[in-house]
Amino acid sequence: MNGPDRLPLVVLISGSGSNLQALIDQVAAGLPAEIRAVVSNRPGVRGLERAQAAGITTRVLDHQAFPDRESYDIALATVLEDFQPQLVVLAGFMRILSPAFVQRFRGRMLNIHPSLLPKFRGLHTHQRVLDAGEREHGASVHYVTEELDGGPLILQASVPIEPGDDAEQLAAKVLAKEHIIYPKVIRWVAEGRLTLQNGNVILDGNPLDGPLILKNNGNPLP
């Protein structure tokens, strides 16, 4: 995974790490990135095993050992800086980050959320989508800002909601899309094509008016 032209990144997780695994697989297939570390706020989760199996350094920073969010985030920032990432990748990291932490890594931190933002921010999106009678659902990759699930959108992918779908079935369909769009966005960063400038998403030198949408042929289009 090492190399002078690879984007150094750190992945933050809280659970199974399926998006982490998709990223590990893409790096092995040629994505020009170096996963320098995987950091979890929970010990003993499957994502740590995935990282260790791939030979990636892991750290556990248990949030329960800290008195408040601010002190945890200070410690987390210190851990991250040890690895000097150019990009911080949130992959199922179930923590709300403090404004000071977000500001420290502004423009260098991505998140993936299981809904078509700005709809259904927060938790339990699959059941909420069903309860609302929506006809489609999906996933969104965005830059992280102080606003929960509210940062500038980059790329989305949608799935139809079929009659009889339950929350678990819908989650599986959305997760499959997540595994496609997250590595794609990280590749854009690694190739120098994607940046955040003055709050605007810039791709190939042009500002995005809204998120790109992954079409069925795999190509993202406005």
Catalytic residues: 113
Burial 14-53 (b: 16+ CB within 10 A, else e): bbebbbbbbbbebbeeebebbbbbbbbbbeebebbebbee
Which positions ≥6 away from 149 have C-beta within 8 Å? 111, 113, 115, 117, 118, 121, 122, 142
Taking alpha carbons only, the member of 140, 141, 132 closest to residue 161 is 132
In angstroms, the CA 60 to CA 41 distance is 6
Alpha carbons within 13 A on the beta-carbon side of 205: 0
Q: Which amino acid is at 182?
A: Y
Is residue 114 within 8 A of residue 174, CB to CB? The reply is yes
Angle formed by the axes of helices 46-53 and 18-28, nearest 10°: 10
